Amino acid sequence: MTNSSVVVDRAGLWDAEELSDVAAATFPLACPPEATQGDIEIFLEQMLSGERFGEYLSDPERTVLKAVEGDEIVGYAMLVAGRPIDPEVDAQVSPGAVVELSKMYVLPGHHGSGVAAALMTAAVATARESGATVLWLGVNQANERAQKFYAKHGFTQVGTNTFTVGTQVHSDFVYERAL
């Protein structure tokens, strides 16, 4: 899928290190102000390392989409098939076949350029093609920019959840949209 000069496609194992680099540059920007640098570094090491991306890319329940401009990955989205593992979140998400939009990040120099919209379009299409009827996600309650983006793309708040970064627990909203 293309949007201007951006191409969104499924990532492969060969993309793991570059995806990790994008995650290291983008994840801290989405964290709430009270997140400490130490906790962010723990999360990056445990959840967004090149090794972890290799695991994600090998997991049949996950799909990682990459947004490429020129020869550089400028953003990515990760989809996870299946019902939420947390029973409290599962109770908040609509019944039926669901896919989680687990991660979606764009490098700062590409914000507002259509990269995020192209990733969202591809994520929705991928979830729909998998047979899901609902796409859901968690977004930090302090991240108003992301909340506005998700609302613009048809998501509504259906509940709340917590998200741990390092040693800190943060408050998220749970959003979903029908496919």
Residue 65 is predicted with a pLDDT of 98
- Among 26, 21, 20, 25, smallest CA distance to 47 is for 20
CATH number of 110's domain: 3.40.630.30
pTM: 0.94
- Dump pLDDT digits (tens) for 87-138: 999 999 999 999 999 999 999 999 999 999 999 999 999 999 999 999 999 9
Range of the domain at 146: 2-178
Share of the chain above pLDDT 70, in %: 98
**Helix, strand or coil for residue 136?**
strand
Say how far apart CA 165 and CA 35 lie, in whole Å: 8
Quickly list H helices, the chain: 16-30, 37-47, 50-58, 87-92, 115-129, 144-152
The terminus-to-terminus CA distance of the chain in angstroms comes to: 18
Provide the domain count of the chain: 1
Which two three-digit tokens encode residue 75? 């953003």
- Among 123, 136, 135, 141, smallest CA distance to 76 is for 123
